[in-house]
Amino acid sequence: MDSTRQKKISRLLQKEISEIFQREMRAVSMGTMVSVTAVRISPDLGQAKTYLSIFPTGNIKEVMEQIDEQTAQIRFALGKRVGKQMRIIPELKFYVDDSLDYLDNIDRLLKK
């Protein structure tokens, strides 16, 4: 169960990381649209699991490799944005959020 503080930090990180991808890290996304669907923060606020939705889904693996290579720069940009609000900037781990693909698959199966 997430505490109120974890929920607030998660919302803040989701907003800021999505702005970083939209404005500063366009080269990393390689022409795809990257959106942050969720951020889950650990109880000690030291690690943040960030779930990304990537569209179009053709080259997800390459985009995720680029994002993983640029994690330190993304964390640095995040630190510049939220450094006054947080004492420790959490370690970032990125995961693909495939819930939309799952919903599309269910819709397709139900229409048959």
22: containing domain: 4-111
The pair phi, psi for residue 41, each rounded to 5°, is -110, 140
What does the pLDDT read at residue 56?
A: 78
Beta bridge partners of 102: none
* pLDDT, tens digit (0-9, with 9 covering 90-100), for 15-27: 999 999 998 887 7
Q: What CATH number is attached to the domain comprising 16?
A: 3.30.300.20
DSSP state of 112: -
Q: How many domains are there within the chain?
A: 1
* pLDDT, tens digit (0-9, with 9 covering 90-100), for 61-79: 998 999 999 999 999 999 9
* pLDDT, tens digit (0-9, with 9 covering 90-100), for 10-54: 999 999 999 999 988 877 777 788 899 999 999 999 999 999 998
* 109: enclosing H helix or E strand: helix 99-111
